[in-house]
Amino acid sequence: MPEKRKVVLERVEIVAFGKLKNFVLEPSEGINLLCAPNESGKSTLAAFLRFAFYGFADSRKRELAENDKKLYTPWDVPRAVGSVTVRKGEERYRVTRSSAGTKETVEVVSVLTGKRAFEGEVPGDAIFGVSEEVFSRTLFFRQSPQGAGKDKDGALEERLQNLAVSEEERVCSGEAVERLTKERNALKGRAGSGWIPRLEQETARLERALDDAKREHSEWESLTAERQSLDERIERSRDAGERVEREKQNLERWEASQKRGQIERIRAEAEAARQAYERSCAGAVSDRTALTGLLAQVASLETARQRARTASEARANAEREVPPPSEPVRASEPKKRSAFPVLFAVGLVLLAAGGVLLALRGSGVLPVAVVLALAGVASAVVGFLLRGKEKERLAALRAEAEAETLRLRSQTAAHDARVRELRAAETREREALYALERSVSAGFAASGLETPDLSNAEALRTDLQERITACDERDRRKAAWESAENASRIASEGVDLDALATLAEGAVPPARPRAEVEQEAAFLRQQQRLLTEKDGQLRDRISAIEGRGNDPSLLAGKLQAANDKLAECRRRYEAYEAARLGILEASDRLKGMAAPRLGEIAGRYFSESTGGKYEGLQTDTRLSLRFRDGGIERESEYLSAGTRDSAALSLRLALAELLFDGEGMPLVLDDAFGRLDDERLENAMRVLGKAAERHQFLLLCCSDREEQALARAGVPCRKWDFLDANRLKTEV
């Protein structure tokens, strides 16, 4: 039997756990007394030790008091982490555990070698050799001890039963029976479950399936032949699809080549447009508006010159005109002499002749005389009348001459005024012409042009028109350059020419347009999909036939294998049942052998802690305590609360001695003596002093009663005080 090794806690380091932060404790062997007021963190320290070795238990319970994870995860930093350094014989291990959210990690490292240890194992199981349940009921004595009475879960019972047989905990008869029962039920359980009923059903099914083997085998051969033919069609369709895919890839390369060439052409056109624009800028005045204004001024200059010329000609013509004479116009005398004297003389002659004839008084002369007299009178009257008219005509001529004189004088004044006006107009036109010529010259100079001959209007117009045409050409070429540059930018935007060149490598002119290739590719994809679906259907049908195992030779082999496995399972079932019954029979005989030994050790401790009042303490493998009082055996419930605590402590010490074969283990006692009086407390401390020769104790209390009791009992201890910030000060 291998030698057991003593286990001692050397260092407890809590980074964050409950209310404890950056807490360090280095307990010694023997009794370590940690005294502090309530709610200072003593129970938190005890809970941390169980957390370090076994992790959080009951983390799914909703009640806070039953859920250590909720209770001891810090509020400010939702992460519980710390480590414990433990010595086991000559080996030293550091157990580090962290819990954050749903993730909990643990690591055990050998302090001597730095290598990991106990990977995949629970640190408490590996170091103490007991499960969490046994640890809590033996080495971990909390404020409200739950295992002081009965072992409800049966974990200790199994170990105590095992001690009766082998004196150690390596073999567990209950677990063996449980595993044998499980294996037996796996072979054949209640309600027809297990391997044996399933194999019986399988053999019957295989026997029935063998009858249908020939028919299904024939169908399988037909489907296989059809699938082989279909595979050939799928292969041809795949080859055609690969050919079309290569053609599509060449189309992509060709399109990339075309796009690259198009971009390069657009860039070249933009560069040519830029150069053409720069050439057009060489001979063009930048201000087209100024040229247009100069052209309008040239037109105005020509008009002004024409007006000046017209004014000069009008003045010259006016000056060449002969002005009317300035002397008075005389009335013109009639060219013919007046008829008055003649008519008067003729009248006198006729009158004289008539008078003569009248004087003669001849016959027949009187009428003539009268006629002559009358004719003479008439001629004189006519003469007088003509003379009056002649005077009137002469007066009219004289008035006309005076009027003409006035008209001529007015015409002369108007002519002189007109000449003066034409001379002034000529001066104004010439001044306007000179001013316009100066303005045109200044306009040419402002435009940076050499002043040309302003007298040649046609040449000026032609030169300005050519310059305007050059400006228009420059603007047109600039617009063309900007348009080409914009087209180049749009075409090149987001395009990597090097990538296009790489993609276009090996491109050849396509034999067909893309639409035709895409159409054939879609047809081939559809064909491939249909053929694949049909192949899948055939494969499923073949797999269904093969899955049913209806091949005669295969079914025969399966049937034989099933029969062999069924026979093997029946043999194993009989062996498991025989072993299970044997273990149960042996366990019933040995079940009570460990309880007397446990009661003997616990009774010795109980008698000493009660000052000899109770000499015996009995228990069974379920840890039900009984004591003898006056020859009568009673249950522990008849004891007072303090005495029950002494009985529970005695049972814990006995379990530690019996389960661990007397080797030392660390025991945590958290306010375990609060209900003991001073005398019983002194006796309990004396018992702890004897047990401390083998075990390490962490005694957590809230007053100095335990310290005083230890002093009265003469039991040495090391005292630890909780100070501010959880720093520790030691006193011996």
Domains assigned to the chain? 7-149+661-731 (3.40.50.300), 317-446 (no CATH)
Judged by average pLDDT, the poorest of 168-182, 184-198, 411-425 is 168-182
pLDDT score of 319 more than 90: no
pLDDT score of 134 more than 70: yes
In angstroms, rounded to a whole number, what is the distance separating the alpha carbons of residues 272 and 276? 6
The structure tokens 């419930």 sit at 637
CA dihedral 296, 300, 303, 304 (to 10 degrees): -160
How many degrees, rounded to 5, is the angle at CA 211 between CA 210 and CA 214? 85
Who has greater pLDDT, 696 or 78? 696
**Phi and psi angles of residue 683, each rounded to the nearest 5 degrees, phi first:** -60, -40
* Stretch 255-278: mean pLDDT: 84
pLDDT at 93: 95
In this structure, are residues 337 and 390 in contact, taking their beta carbons and an 8 Å threshold?
Answer: no
Q: What amino acid occupies position 274?
A: R
In this structure, are residues 655 and 598 in contact, taking their beta carbons and an 8 Å threshold?
Answer: yes
Q: Are strands 617-618 and 626-629 parallel, antiparallel or unpaired?
A: antiparallel
In angstroms, rounded to a whole number, what is the distance separating the alpha carbons of residues 197 and 566? 9
In angstroms, rounded to a whole number, what is the distance separating the alpha carbons of residues 566 and 196? 6
User: Which tokens go with 641?
Assistant: 């609360």
* Other residues' Cβ atoms within 10 Å of the Cβ of residue 651: 28
698: pLDDT confidence band, cut at 50, 70 and 90?
Answer: very high
In this structure, are residues 303 and 310 in contact, taking their beta carbons and an 8 Å threshold?
Answer: no
- All residues at 6 or more sequence positions from 528 whose CB lies less than 8 Å from its CB, including other chains: 234, 237, 238, 241
Half-sphere exposure of 606 (CA within 13 A, CB side): 30
Q: How far is CA 261 from the centre of its chain?
A: 37
| Closest among 9, 33, 17 to 722, alpha carbons compared | 33
* Average pLDDT in the chain: 78
pLDDT at 30: 92
731: pLDDT confidence band, cut at 50, 70 and 90?
Answer: very low
SS3 331: coil
The pairs formed by 21-28 with CB atoms below 8 angstroms and a separation of 24 or more are: 21/74, 21/726, 22/725, 22/726, 23/82, 23/726, 24/728, 25/720, 25/728, 27/696, 27/698, 27/718, 27/720, 28/696, 28/718
Q: Quick one: residue 533, left, alpha or beta (phi over 0 = left, psi -120 to 50 = alpha)?
A: alpha
pLDDT at 145: 43
Q: Kindly list the distances between the CA atom of residue 571 and the CA atoms of 188, 561, 564, 567, in Å, as whole numbers in the listed order.
A: 12, 15, 11, 6
In angstroms, rounded to a whole number, what is the distance separating the alpha carbons of residues 55 and 93? 17
In this structure, are residues 156 and 619 in contact, taking their beta carbons and an 8 Å threshold?
Answer: no
The crossing angle, in degrees rounded to 10, of helices 213-282 and 457-492 is: 160
| Closest among 472, 467, 479, 470 to 273, alpha carbons compared | 479
pLDDT at 666: 93
**Structure pTM?**
0.44
In angstroms, rounded to a whole number, what is the distance separating the alpha carbons of residues 664 and 668? 13
pLDDT at 340: 61
- All residues at 6 or more sequence positions from 467 whose CB lies less than 8 Å from its CB, including other chains: 284, 285, 291, 449
pLDDT score of 476 more than 80: yes
User: Which tokens go with 203?
Assistant: 């053999």
Judged by average pLDDT, the poorest of 6-10, 157-161, 245-249, 257-261 is 157-161
pLDDT score of 286 more than 70: no
The sign of the CA dihedral 449, 455, 460, 461 is: positive
In this structure, are residues 247 and 241 in contact, taking their beta carbons and an 8 Å threshold?
Answer: no
pLDDT score of 481 more than 50: yes
Q: What amino acid occupies position 670?
A: D
In this structure, are residues 171 and 162 in contact, taking their beta carbons and an 8 Å threshold?
Answer: yes
In angstroms, rounded to a whole number, what is the distance separating the alpha carbons of residues 682 and 360? 231
Q: Note the maximum CA span of the chain.
A: 245
